[in-house]
Amino acid sequence: MPSTSWETPLKSPLKNPLKGPKRHLIALAAALGVVAGAGAGYLVQAGREPKLPTLVQPPLPQAHGPQPEPLTEARDRKVRNDGDLRELLLEKPGGATTPDWVEPQGWMDYAATFEDPEAADTFLAEQEFLRAAVTGWEAGDQDVQIWLAQFEQKKNFAAPADDSAETRYWAESDPDVESRPIPGTGEGRAYVHPKLYHESGVAPYYRAEAHASRGDLSVHIWVYDDDPVPWRTIMDLAERQMEGL
């Protein structure tokens, strides 16, 4: 079983070759190229004499009748997510115990889970990271970890999806891993590692994981066991957790 600490398969996003400043600069250059081309076309058109009469559209009638009811707090994801994030985590199943590594208050130092916490602080600030909640339990020989990371999304709207893509990238770095999409989550996927994982200082163990995003949240789930983790185990956890977001 894995050590009861914050050591997990999650790596520092700064090491991911698919991310980082270079990729964002390329995307920015492409966007600026589109804007510049559109601007040049506008200037050319502005200098030409109009050939068609100006189109005049009569004012449209205003809609009347009953207005839609505002969303209830249970249906308004923004209101729900701005509340106690820990309440969105799955509940510990009956008979399971809470391991020592789960923080008593349910909050976690997200940067501390990266290989380089100091660099991660800077990276997460750029990603507009807000807070992270954690839960987990032990049931027999099986350990479960579930993290919810929340991002402000004032400027970087893709941050939660990027955070999910980061962990999927590292999951897929295992050449033997098997994966399946998580229904209703876009690019969210679940993974089962069919071979024993060897970690220094602990007995070999099997693992499965799931990573997805919804709204301003990214979701990360890991399952560790002495026996191979069935697909139904990781998929059930992933689907139930996503249904609550």
Q: What CATH number has the domain bearing residue 89?
A: 3.40.1000
28 domain residue, yes or no: no
**pLDDT computed for residue 104 by the predictor:** 80
The enclosing H or E element of 193 equals: strand 189-197
Cα 50 to Cα 56, 82, 104, distances in angstroms: 15, 52, 71
**Banded pLDDT at 65 (limits 50, 70, 90):** low
204 domain residue, yes or no: yes
Model pLDDT for residues 140-159, shown as the tens digit of each residue: 999 999 999 999 999 999 99
**Number of structural domains the chain divides into:** 1
99 domain residue, yes or no: yes
Does 11 have pLDDT greater than 60?
no
Question: Strand, coil or helix: what is 95?
Answer: coil
131 domain residue, yes or no: yes
Model pLDDT for residues 178-220, shown as the tens digit of each residue: 999 999 999 999 999 999 999 899 999 999 999 999 999 999 9
Task: Tell me the residue ranges of DSSP E strands in 110-169.
Answer: 129-139, 142-151
**Banded pLDDT at 21 (limits 50, 70, 90):** very low
40 domain residue, yes or no: no
Tokens of 215: 């709204």
- Residue 127's domain spans which residues? 13-19+79-243
Separation CA 13–CA 127 (nearest Å): 11
6 domain residue, yes or no: no
Separation CA 131–CA 136 (nearest Å): 17
Model pLDDT for residues 90-136, shown as the tens digit of each residue: 999 999 999 988 888 899 999 998 989 999 999 999 999 999 999 99
87 domain residue, yes or no: yes
| Residue from 126, 110, 116 nearest 19 by CA | 126
Please tell me what DSSP assigns to residue 107.
Answer: B
43 domain residue, yes or no: no
Mean per-residue pLDDT for 38-44?
42
